[in-house]
Amino acid sequence: MRFFDTLREASHRHNSLLCIGLDPLPERIPAHVRSHPDPVFAFCAAIIEATADLACAFKPNIAFFEALGAPGLETLRRVIRLPRAVPLILDAKRGDIGSTAEAYARLAFEWLAADAITLSPYLGGDALEPFLSYAERGCFVLCKTSNPGSADLQALTLANGEPLYLAVARHAYAHWNSNHNLGLVVGATHPSAIADVRAACPDLPLLVPGVGAQGGDLASAVRAAVDAAGDLALINASRSILFASSGPDFATAARAEAVRLRDAINAARVNG
């Protein structure tokens, strides 16, 4: 089954647009888990088990695993293979050319077996093609990211008067989606940008990070991101769920926060 079909099915089954980011900061893993032979794996496994029926996807950030060296990549591989019943997006922000991009794609989709990946468009379409050629996998292209520095380049005004991020969205929609496996990343801290991208790309999935710890307004982001049917958005939250508690009840607390966020997202869908 293609990634976006799997994503849609999981979203409808769980009545959820919540994407849960897996950013396992070692220093914030609860103390009682740190005695486990692989504390990062044990932590992620507990979070997935506690929340999988509330999410439409999980999104591990590869950096937190790569920082642990070779054992960290093996941990990530084990996390990806856990039973979860929802798809998994590898947050890697890859973007390089030729054989380098092909190698990155093989790592992500063959060795790690991720269902989807995040990509940087800065090097152009030939840097994305090795990933997009895996027609059954999803590819989320960075468009307008949630960090403050995104304005340095992404908001630059082009000769036609539109910002660069919107040109990226339009180009991706028109030229890079021949396999119908492309989505866009637009940060929750920029609801007007989300609305612009949604208007330009009415039937592309939008991955929306930046709610919770990064301060994006949840309701505004949801209303701007969803399509006409109230779907096609993944609202990502990471630290607010993962570290809802630092004690032995961390998984229970993570589930409670995931319930709260899922329900708040759904309320915004209905009320929007």
Q: Cβ distance 89 to 59 under 8 Å?
A: yes
Residue of 8, 36, 93, 170 marked catalytic:
93
Token code pair at residue 42: 């044990």
CA pair distance 122, 195, nearest whole angstrom: 22
Token code pair at residue 258: 């995931």
Token code pair at residue 129: 């093609």
Q: Cβ distance 262 to 18 under 8 Å?
A: yes
**Which helix (DSSP H) or strand (DSSP E) does residue 186 occupy?**
strand 182-186
DSSP readout, 1-40?
--HHHHHHHHHHHHT--EEEEE---GGGS-GGGTTSSSHH
- Indicate the SS3 state at residue 115: coil
Centre a 10 Å sphere on the Cβ of residue 125 and count the other Cβ atoms it contains.
Answer: 12
Is 93 annotated in the active site?
yes
Q: How far is CA 135 from the centre of its chain?
A: 18
Active-site annotation, residues: 93
